[in-house]
Amino acid sequence: MPTETATPGDEQELQPLSLRFPSSPHGAQLARRHAVRWLEERGHPLASDVSCAVALVVGELAANAVQHGRVPGREFGLRLALDPVAGLLRVEVADAASAKPLPTAAPSSCPEGESGRGLLLVDALAERWGSASRRPVGKTVWAELRLDASTPSRLPCLTDVTRSAW
């Protein structure tokens, strides 16, 4: 079960969302669902391009945290923060693994390969993205997405999967 650390208040709409999830495929799925629901509560409907882009980016970053950043007994974190002035949503996914090098660029992958396209997708959907070490251990991979119409239109959306989970 995710653990929420967001503080409710009068400016709840601008309060960042901060949750922790089990480092498992189910945890990654829950992270994506919570991100989409949080955006919906802030006026971005499930089928909107912004919601679909966020679902894909959160899904990819959370899946990477589970697959490549998993430390037994440790959770991964998801943080979402709106910057209405800049028109951006910042997505951060933090894990406890620090042994692997931080991602610095989307890898080029073999077209026939079964994996390796996740960061290419993040790179295509985000205004910018990167990673940072965490102290004492771990890393955070982040992406900033536009909240306006400049998001690529008609993204493949996961709304059917998302709706069925509520």
pLDDT tens across 23-63, in order? 999 999 999 999 999 999 999 999 899 999 999 999 999 99
- Summarize the confidence of residues 125-139 as an average pLDDT: 90
- CA–CA dist 34, 16 (Å, integer): 13
Residue 115 has pLDDT above 70, yes or no: no
Confidence of residue 122 (pLDDT cuts 50, 70, 90): very high
Q: Report the DSSP beta bridge partners of residue 80.
A: 17, 91
Q: Is 151 left (phi over 0), alpha (psi -120 to 50) or beta?
A: beta
In the prediction, which pLDDT does 164 show? 40
In the prediction, which pLDDT does 6 show? 43
In the prediction, which pLDDT does 116 show? 65
Classify residue 4 by its DSSP letter. Answer: E
Count of other CB atoms within 10 angstroms of residue 33: 20
Residue 163 has pLDDT above 60, yes or no: no
Q: Is the CB of residue 76 less than 8 Å from the CB of residue 95? A: yes
